[in-house]
Amino acid sequence: MTEGKEQQQPPWAQRLHDVLLPVLRHQIERFGIETTGAYNFYKVRAETGQIFMQYEIELARKLLASGLGIRHIHEIGSGFGQLMFLMGWNGFRTLGFEADRARARTARTLRAILDLVDPQLTENVHLHEGEFPSGGALHPEPGSLVLTTNLVATRSLPQQLDILKAMRKYPFVLADMQRFFELRPDPAQEPEALALFARAGFEDPELFLDLGAGGRYYLFVNSL
């Protein structure tokens, strides 16, 4: 984050960046990209000094201003937990699901550091190592939202529908149609992803946030 952009950031974004970046760089330098789960995705972030990508910043800003009454945010494929840390420090109760064991381990390390920095704010953040749905996702509380950002992972169609069935239990669902299990950079591919949601019983969504190549996020409101 540059100084010129700091005023545009959601509350606590700069503070989290300043705390987490040196820790993340140290973890990668000491243990390597495979052991930490950084791989190329987070390795580039660490090298370029980006704890948060711009789409995460824009998504956080939009959620903070949404007025939807959301109090709980769960993320499928939360990686190192950066978005859950940001939303948790801004008052939401967050739960991140990460199936990659190495990434989940690094996320717990980062959370432990944040717990030392500000245990009161970090208390809002919970991390679960494992596939979604598990770890408290079966019975979402009122005011809960489940979201996906960069969820590009190999799953069979039945597995995808099982995940969608669990997402259907949340009052709010927010998903990037460009990166939902498969990369769909062409706008003409978007109906493929939307059709998956319709097949799982979701009603028509609204376009919540359009970031062009940075993602097109659709909000589904479920009648429970």
Instruction: Please give the domain boundaries of the chain with CATH numbers for all domains.
Output: 53-221 (3.40.50.150)
Which tokens go with 57?
A: 């910043």
- The pLDDT of 14-33, averaged and rounded, is 97
**Rounded to two decimals, what is the model's pTM?**
0.93
60 touches 208 (CB < 8 A): no
Which tens digits make up the pLDDT trace of 60-97? 999 999 999 999 999 999 999 999 999 999 999 999 99
- Is the pLDDT at 7 greater than 60? The verdict is no
- Is the pLDDT at 130 greater than 70? The verdict is yes
User: What does residue 98 show for φ and ψ, rounded to 5 degrees?
Assistant: -135, 115
**pLDDT on residue 35:** 98
Helix (H) or strand (E) holding 9: none
14: pLDDT confidence band, cut at 50, 70 and 90?
very high
- Quickly count: other Cβ atoms within 10 Å of residue 122's Cβ: 18
136: pLDDT confidence band, cut at 50, 70 and 90?
low
6: pLDDT confidence band, cut at 50, 70 and 90?
very low
- The pLDDT of 195-205, averaged and rounded, is 95
Beta strands in 63-152 (DSSP E): 72-76, 93-98, 125-129, 144-148
User: Which residues on adjacent β-strands are paired with residue 126?
Assistant: 95
Q: Give CA 42 to chain center in angstroms.
A: 14
148 touches 178 (CB < 8 A): no
77 touches 103 (CB < 8 A): no
